[in-house]
Amino acid sequence: MASLATQTDSRPTVRLDRVWRVGKHVAELDGLRGFAILIVTLYRFSKEIPTDSSLGHLMHLGASFGSRGVELFFVLSGFLITGILIDAKDQPHYFRNFIARRSLRIFPLYFATLIALVVAAHFVPAMRTMFHDAIDNQFYLWTYLVNVKMSFADQWCFGYLDHFWSLAVEEHFYLVWPFVLYLISNKVALRTAVGLAIVSATSRIAFVLLSDNGVAPDVLTLFRCDALLIGAAIALIARQPQGLEPLRRWLPVTTIIGGLFVLACGITEKRFFTIPLTIWPIVWGGILIWLLTANRSTPLARFFNLKFLRTLGKYSYAMYVFQNPLIPLTSAVVSVAAFETLVGRPLLANVMYIGVMFVLTYAAAVLSWNVLERHCLQLKRWFPTGASSDVPVVKNNQSTTGTFVPTNAPAN
């Protein structure tokens, strides 16, 4: 009993009916990722919604909410990646396995997309015209420096691959954060994550006040890593003896205040010195904590466990990569103008366009998964990470020890 008490004191105590436990694959997090790609994709294809009617304005406002899905991806990635790194910290080949597994998840689709684009542009003049911005600046695409180029140029200079800036931010995080976690204790890592998140947010706000550059605050890694670090901090707190319960008590207040602030920003269309770029990750972080500490029977957990959302989460990476390039590639057949000619109503035409493009994006992602991604992911078995961990759990007010094996679901 003494030894059990010692174990319980050193690790978070959780209940078996809770959504999350250390080292356990959580289907609801797949659903949360699916929700992120859902709102991002709907936003991507809603740029032409007319706002000359109350319904159109409401639809436009709702769709614009999807632009904040990137922050949700960042928070979720920071949480998942940090958890993977912490759980594998004492295992052999820590760096090799992490880098190999991340590379197998990210690089095949990313570089296959670039290769296909360059080859197609070489042989098909129309492709060269469609993607000339990306082709002319392809060095920065190959080297994950898209956001750096944008920041110094102060413009969105990659055309239909502009959205690759967020992939660059995540890649920079993956290159640095494993070394930071390896060199310091978890306690120091938590302070570091919080401190760096504050530095990121304050430096971005200071930059906005001192500079006329309107792109760098939105895309530069230094200015956007606060969301990733908020997710990292949640992962570190979750592995402390008290876990996330102390934070959960503050969730209603912080989520409501943060939600009202970002809602006001959305309605007034004010940037407020980019403060919403930090408030949104805090709101998403609050929802993540709420989900992780929720019982499986709660409406929140059941919503994110919907098969539809979990399926979208599975294909979210490819959906994100493909959604922008598909706009010019399908424009000869699929466009708002074509649907408006067909139905005669601009608002309905936009709804039809969004629906068709969403289906095409999903279909392309499923094809990519079956042709390329899943075969590359099978190679992960050569680079195991993490080990089974004995985690104290509470069942019927009695402490027992459950063993869980991390599955390390990939984050996008």
How do the pLDDT tens digits run along the chain, 412 residues long?
444 444 444 455 445 567 667 767 889 999 999 999 999 999 999 999 998 889 998 998 889 889 999 999 999 999 999 999 999 988 889 999 999 999 999 999 999 999 999 999 999 999 999 999 999 999 999 999 999 999 999 999 999 999 999 999 999 999 999 999 999 999 999 999 999 999 999 999 999 999 999 999 999 999 999 999 999 999 999 999 888 988 888 787 777 777 777 666 665 555 566 888 888 999 999 999 999 998 888 999 999 999 999 999 999 999 999 999 999 999 999 999 999 999 999 999 999 999 999 999 999 999 999 999 999 999 999 998 754 333 333 333 333 333 223 333 334 4
Asked if residue 352 lies in contact with residue 49, where contact means CB atoms within 8 angstroms, the answer is no
Asked if residue 147 lies in contact with residue 219, where contact means CB atoms within 8 angstroms, the answer is yes
Dihedral (C-alpha) 355, 359, 361, 362: value to the nearest 10 degrees?
130
Asked if residue 141 lies in contact with residue 158, where contact means CB atoms within 8 angstroms, the answer is yes
Q: Provide φ and ψ at 398, rounded to 5°.
A: -120, 140
Which helix (H) or strand (E) covers residue 339, if one does? helix 336-343
Asked if residue 405 lies in contact with residue 71, where contact means CB atoms within 8 angstroms, the answer is no
- CB within 8 Å of 356: residues ≥ 6 apart: 334, 339
**Cα–Cα–Cα angle for 356, 360, 363, rounded to 5 degrees:** 140
Asked if residue 197 lies in contact with residue 226, where contact means CB atoms within 8 angstroms, the answer is yes
Count the neighbouring beta carbons within 10 Å of the beta carbon of residue 81. 25
Closest CA to 304 of 74, 24, 27: 27
- CB within 8 Å of 193: residues ≥ 6 apart: 82, 229, 230, 232, 233, 236
Based on the number of CB atoms within 10 Å of its own CB, is 128 exposed (0-12), middle (13-18) or buried (19 or more)?
middle
Count the neighbouring beta carbons within 10 Å of the beta carbon of residue 163. 18
For 78, the token pair is 């920071």
Domain segments of the chain as ranges: 27-379
Asked if residue 151 lies in contact with residue 219, where contact means CB atoms within 8 angstroms, the answer is yes
CA distance 241 to 152: 44
| Intra-chain end-to-end CA distance of the chain, in Å | 42
Dihedral (C-alpha) 280, 158, 316, 358: value to the nearest 10 degrees?
100
